[in-house]
Amino acid sequence: IKSKKQVKKFYDAYEARFEHDTEQLEANFDSVIAAIATMYPEGLSDTEFRRPHLFYSLFTAVGHRTFGIPGLPAAPNSGYSSPEIARNRLERVEEIFASVDIEDLGRDEQGFLADSRRATTDEKVRVQRTEFLLNLMN
């Protein structure tokens, strides 16, 4: 969720000494990718999640539900009943972007749409997009 501007700071802090289990982090990463692949077995190329900033938000939301991410609000109801239900609920993202009249959308949906169209690299906006997707999957 951090901005690209902070990458150098993270390299400086962790390049010489990284005190996390890299094998576990890799396994967690693979698990999140597998969960997304289960929800979208045909891939994401025909969805709004093909857009990098929306994919990152989806990845973060699924990762937070699965493992928790420090600094984000508590994930609602860890996990979801099935990948199919999560996928069905995430279909709302397609409907939001296809909406002709923004007034037809709820306040949260309007906020998500605005957050997806501007300031896509702002940390606050990234968190808001992630929270919206978490709530959809809940």
Nearest to 49 by CA among 11, 17, 92: 92
Q: What is the pLDDT of residue 73?
A: 80
Q: What is the rounded radius of gyration, in angstroms, for the C-alpha atoms of the chain?
A: 16
Nearest to 129 by CA among 69, 58, 76, 44: 58
Q: What is the pLDDT of residue 71?
A: 83
Q: What is the pLDDT of residue 43?
A: 97
pLDDT band per the 50, 70, 90 thresholds, residue 75: low
Q: Do the Cβ atoms of 34 and 25 come closer than 8 Å? A: no
For residues 50-63, average pLDDT: 95
Q: What is the pLDDT of residue 77?
A: 57
Q: Do the Cβ atoms of 55 and 44 come closer than 8 Å? A: yes
> Is 60 exceeded by the pLDDT of residue 91?
yes
Q: Do the Cβ atoms of 137 and 80 come closer than 8 Å? A: yes
Q: What is the pLDDT of residue 45?
A: 97
pLDDT band per the 50, 70, 90 thresholds, residue 3: low
Share of the chain above pLDDT 90, in %: 62
Q: What CA–CA distance (Å, rounded) separates 64 from 132?
A: 13
- Reading the block at residue 48, the tokens are 């709004």
Nearest to 137 by CA among 33, 39, 1, 34: 39
